[in-house]
Structure 1
């Protein structure tokens, strides 16, 4: 089983991710990319994707990136900056490992809203993940 199939198996075990409709598109050493189809249930009153959904996607991408170098992990902390409202058909979160040791990894993530094929940056997150070992 390759790492992408393994990662998708983990995502399938996350009821909240299944509820939202998250998809793991890329998963490799030090990198993860998750997609989230935008549906009305994820929007707030102004028609933008709710910040909680954007934050969820960043958090999950950060943990996937960290897990690619550490194994099973949990989020220790995360910070997110929203740069513009998320509007479109899909969100894409791309996370990379910036630094890692034996027990933790610092990762960064950019979240893009895709509208008519054009990606627009809507959030930047940074987080630390801790191994469960």
Structure 2
């Protein structure tokens, strides 16, 4: 089974990810790319994507990037910086491993909003992922 098949199996086992409609677009050792179409149910009172949805996508992308090096993983911690309101048609998260140890990996992630065919950076995150033992 190749890494994308494993990643899609894991994503499909996440009921919350299925509910939101998250897609794994790319998975390779140390890197992950997830996407999520923006639905009206994801918006807060100002019409922007709720920060919880943005942070969910960042957390999942970070863990997929780190987990790709260990086979499976759990997030130990993560931090997110919202840089502008998320709005548009789709959220795009690209994460990569920055430093790797025997059991942990530090990852970074950028989250973009796709609006009118243009990607706009809306948040960045970093986190520590623990290889599941």
- TM-score by length of structure 1 reads 0.98
2:44 is the counterpart of 1:32: no
> Moved runs in structure 1, 4+ residues, more than 3 A?
none
2:62 is the counterpart of 1:62: yes
Residue 41 of structure 1 deviates from its aligned partner by 0.6
Kindly report the root-mean-square deviation, in angstroms, between the aligned alpha carbons of the 2 structures: 0.6
| Structure-2 separation of matches of 1:55 and 1:74 | 15
* Correspondence for 2:75: 75
Equivalent pairs counted in the alignment come to 133
Residue 76 of structure 1 deviates from its aligned partner by 0.4
* Correspondence for 2:6: 6
* Correspondence for 1:116: 116
Residue 2 of structure 1 deviates from its aligned partner by 1.6
**SS of the residue aligned with 1:108?**
strand
* Correspondence for 1:125: 125
**SS of the residue aligned with 2:56?**
helix
- TM-score by length of structure 2 reads 0.98
Gaps of 5+ in 1: none
| Structure-2 separation of matches of 1:115 and 1:94 | 17
**SS of the residue aligned with 1:59?**
helix
